Amino acid sequence: MNKLILFRMLQEEIRLNTSFASGKGFYSFPVLVLISGLLATLFSDVMIEDMGYVDYLQILHVSAIFYGLFAGSLAFFGNEFLERIFGYFGLIIGLSTTHPITQRKITFLYFCKEIIFYSFFTMLPALIGALIGTYFTNINITSLSIFSMTLYVSFCTGISFAYYISSFYRKSISHAIIYSTVFITIYAILFRGEEITGTLDWYLNKEMKQLALGTIVPIFLSLIATLNITEHNNVSSISIIGYKNRFKEYSEKYTWAEKFGIPGILAKERIDLERSKTGTKMFFSFLFPLGFLTFMNWFLDKGLPIQIDFNTIFYGVMIGFFGTMLYSWLNSIDTPHFYSTLPVQVSDVIRARLLLFGTITWWIPLIFMALISYMSNELDLLPIGIIVMITVGIYIVNYTAMSTGLKTNSALFDAFVFIKFFFISVPPMIAMTILSLAINHRPSTILVALSLICGILSLLSLFFYRKIDTKWTNESFD
């Protein structure tokens, strides 16, 4: 029976993903990953030369852990998201409510499904790409295969950690925070003075004890998580009664915005944002990528022979880019199905969310910008940083809104949409990053170049904004 459930879960995962994206788009994703694996091998010499052998391998392991964590978070915290987007969404994992199978068992099978799915969908194509790459480089095929296995263990550690956190989250948010901190502390103590993962330590130093330790970590995490799952846990994050009627007040407040959106929609979206407490989630979702960036900054400083300091302008570019996340959060608060009963178009709702992005959620990136420039003693660069952040933010969010509509997360699963998104977002970011890093050398020239790019991005933002109507008119809310 377990095998059958597992098989059906895998089928369900594929069908779910192909319903988000086009079938072609979904099946092209492994090809994209294969190409990435190939490129990583082809350019590994350059990277090793720049960063150093050990640091490069460490960065790959850290990335594998984070990737596992990301994949696991999508899986274990995705149900709530799916329900909000699609209304009721029945998945096999919900079988335990109507059939004689325990939550523990079905959740464990779901975890196994996740590992199998991501292994075949991303890890295996990446390995194949890397193996093809060995044909063009001097990298030994056996050592690359062994290193890939160690990377795979790191990926499993990440995904198991997400499973572990989710098992505590079922009890309460505070349980999740406390027990993740406990695990991180124990991990830090265990690997203090060693490489970042046990398997990497074994790969570099041939210490069998470290291999055993590294392999036990994901097994231990998933075991704890499985044992931790009991029946009838229910986390309620919003109160049940006591809401004041705010609609009239807000719709009157937004009469000034009639030119850009329907005040009623703006009021509804604003209330959604407040009552779902998504603002807090948005704030914390910025911490993760920014923390990762700061870590990379520190890591590159450690590995590179020359000192590179990411300045406030660079962070302005990055934080502006993370605007996509804010817009995506706005799209995951509630299902838009009710709008289909009213005389409004998908484009009306998109425009309302863009306006909310610009008027309500602006404080989140601004707080981070101010903090970063203060901590790096670069308050003089803050005004330029803010202008860059706003320009990049508006540009990327308008493009995201135009290309993905109200289903940002699921649309980006489509390889074709993702590739377009990549080519629209990455080149201006690279250009601005290079300019930001060179600001101290020729400030006036750099400022002119930055202004020019900001001007072009603003024009393109306007173009994307205007295209929203033509692209999303007559689209359904389904």
Partner 1 sequence: MSVIECKKLSKNYDEVEALRNIDLEVKEGEFFGLLGPNGAGKTTLLKILTCQLKSSNGKAEVFSLDTFTNFETIKPKIAIVPEQESPPSFLTPREVLELVVNIRQINGKDIDYWLNFFELDKMEGRVCRNLSRGQKQKVMLASAFISNTKLMFLDEPFINLDPLVQSKVREWLKEYVEKGGTVFINTHLLENAERLCDRAAIIHQGKIQSLITLKDLRKQNLTLERLFHEIVV
The site for partner 1 (CB under 8 A) is made up of: 84, 87-88, 238, 240-248, 251, 262-265, 267-268, 271-272, 275-276, 333-335, 337-338, 340-345, 473-474, 476-478
Q: Which CB sits closer to partner 1, 215 or 276?
A: 276
CB of 472 to partner 1, least distance (A): 12
Q: Which CB sits closer to partner 1, 73 or 251?
A: 251
Q: Which CB sits closer to partner 1, 348 or 414?
A: 348
Q: Which CB sits closer to partner 1, 85 or 432?
A: 85
CA distances from 355 to 8, 284, 350, 385 (A): 42, 22, 9, 22
Q: Which CB sits closer to partner 1, 78 or 263?
A: 263
- DSSP string for 325-356: HHHHHHTTSS--GGGGGTT--HHHHHHHHHHH
Name the H helices within 98-246: 103-118, 124-134, 141-169, 173-190, 198-205, 208-228
Q: Which CB sits closer to partner 1, 45 or 475?
A: 475
CB of 337 to partner 1, least distance (A): 4
Q: Which CB sits closer to partner 1, 138 or 245?
A: 245
CB of 84 to partner 1, least distance (A): 7
CB of 169 to partner 1, least distance (A): 19
**Burial classification of residue 140, based on how many CB atoms lie within 10 Å of its CB (0-12 exposed, 13-18 middle, 19 or more buried):** exposed
CB of 125 to partner 1, least distance (A): 27
**Total Cβ atoms within 10 A of residue 477:** 17
Query: What stretch of H or E contains 21?
Result: none
Q: Which CB sits closer to partner 1, 142 or 476?
A: 476
Q: Which CB sits closer to partner 1, 97 or 140?
A: 97
In whole angstroms, what is the distance from residue 42 CA to residue 39 CA? 5
Q: Are 264 and 344 in contact (CB under 8 A)?
A: no
Q: Which CB sits closer to partner 1, 195 or 334?
A: 334
CA distances from 360 to 219, 272, 461 (A): 43, 12, 19
CB of 89 to partner 1, least distance (A): 11
CB of 245 to partner 1, least distance (A): 6
**Total Cβ atoms within 10 A of residue 8:** 14
Identity of residue 200: L
CB of 338 to partner 1, least distance (A): 5
Q: Which CB sits closer to partner 1, 277 or 302?
A: 277
In whole angstroms, what is the distance from residue 123 CA to residue 83 CA? 28
HSE, CB side, 13 Å, CA atoms: give it for residue 273.
Answer: 24
Q: Which residues contact 210 (CB under 8 A, 6 or more apart)?
A: 194, 195, 198, 199, 201, 202
CB of 464 to partner 1, least distance (A): 23
Query: What stretch of H or E contains 229?
Result: none
In whole angstroms, what is the distance from residue 18 CA to residue 1 CA? 26
**Total Cβ atoms within 10 A of residue 476:** 8
CB of 276 to partner 1, least distance (A): 6
CA distances from 256 to 296, 300, 347, 451, 454 (A): 43, 48, 19, 30, 27
In whole angstroms, what is the distance from residue 30 CA to residue 7 CA? 20
In whole angstroms, what is the distance from residue 410 CA to residue 357 CA? 20
CB of 171 to partner 1, least distance (A): 21
Residue 76: name the closest of 164, 153, 178 by CA. 164
